[in-house]
A = this chain, B = another copy of it.
Amino acid sequence: MNYFSSNFKLGILGGGQLGKMLLAETRKFDIQTYVFDPSMEAPCQYGATKFFIGDLMDYDSVYDFGKKVDVLTIEIENVNLEALEQLEAEGLKVYPSPKTLRLIQNKGVQKDFYVENQIPTAAYKRFASLTDLRTEIEHNRVALPFVWKCAQFGYDGNGVKIVRSAEDIENLPNVECIAEQMVPFKNELAVIVARSVSGEVKAYPVVEMEFHPEANQVEYVICPARIDCHIAKKATEKALQVSQAYNHVGLLAVEMFQTHDEDILINEVAPRPHNSGHYSIEASYTSQFENHLRAILDLPLGNTWSKVAGIMVNLVGEEGFSGPVVYENIEKIMAIDGVIPHIYGKKETRPFRKMGHVTIVNENMTEARKIAEEVKNTIRVIAK
């Protein structure tokens, strides 16, 4: 099929920052895009061929949107799967497939999938509601501390909480959830795997993630991870195993724990471009967004290796600020060699909201890490 400067239309469900960075690649290739998002203010409002407003969880809206395009992809998992299933049944190419999304959208189902496929993961129990979980705690059938995760609709650390005592669950929503064993770990790692319609597979290098202690959001993503070769090899193998088990099309971001025993446990996956791969825009031969596009259009995958070391710093709203956003000191960080800010285009900031990211590229990792800290300590996302 001819995608370039043709009548072909790619549909994207979700119009956030991931969609926006994906759009940049579609513009580079002159591929027409229709984007569907609930917000008129979405980062994807510019750069798409057409932008549609609607509810991503509404069957009819998603179905009608799907009928307008030739290939349909997502930049967010929380979309109406029944509509995708119907569209697929009618012959539309939907990547990732609704089958893959169904195995991932619900974290309980995701964990069960790991167990069924001999993929190592932290021990867990599933609960239909918080009430059920509370009962189990009261009967001492769940060991404290544990990690509570709501089964659906969590994002960016929302929907995840460390529970150290029975009281910690009091303000949580009464929804389906899992209680996961807390795994002491040396590192949080991630590997992004690209898999095309034809089954071509390429893995990005292992990255290392550092989280903000309070917001539970990634603070630095470091590529390549500063780990031993054999751990990197093991992490990559595990990621490829997970990728093969899902048999997905497009990207699969695989988040992992490196335990103190040098085991690799799979934490969770996302079947789309991922925060842990943003560094690739500047550091890799092919960005994750371009490879997602190549994969779902069944074009050859691009080289996933890096030109230089890359570190990503998330730009999240400062605590205590809500309102029209200002990027304080952005010109100071732009004066440092190899520092590239990405501003997502959200007009309003609020505490811990993901507003953008900064990539630091350098031939030398030690230097890049120093600059990343300087960036982190200099720029502030505040309100007017």
Contacts and interface: CB of A to CB of B under 8 A. Distances in A.
Most B C-beta atoms less than 10 A away, residue of A5, A308, A337, A361: A5
Interface residues of A, number: 44
A283 to B, nearest CB: 8
A300 interface: yes
B308 A28 contact: no
Interface of A (DSSP majority class): loop
Q: How many copies does the complex hold?
A: 2
Most B C-beta atoms less than 10 A away, residue of A48, A325, A331, A341: A331
A343 interface: yes
A294 interface: yes
A326 B2 contact: yes
A334 B46 contact: no
A346 B4 CA distance: 10
Contacts of A186: none
Contacts of A4: 325, 327, 330, 341, 343
Interface in A316-331: 325-327, 330-331
28 contacts: A2-B326, A4-B325, A4-B330, A4-B341, A4-B343, A5-B325, A5-B327, A5-B343, A5-B345, A5-B346, A5-B347, A20-B27, A23-B27, A24-B24, A24-B28, A28-B341, A29-B343, A30-B43, A30-B343, A30-B345, A46-B46, A285-B337, A285-B361, A290-B340, A300-B331, A302-B340, A303-B338, A307-B307
Interface of A: 2, 4-5, 20, 23-24, 27-30, 43, 46-49, 285-286, 290, 294, 299-300, 302-303, 307-308, 325-327, 330-331, 334-335, 337-338, 340-347, 361, 363
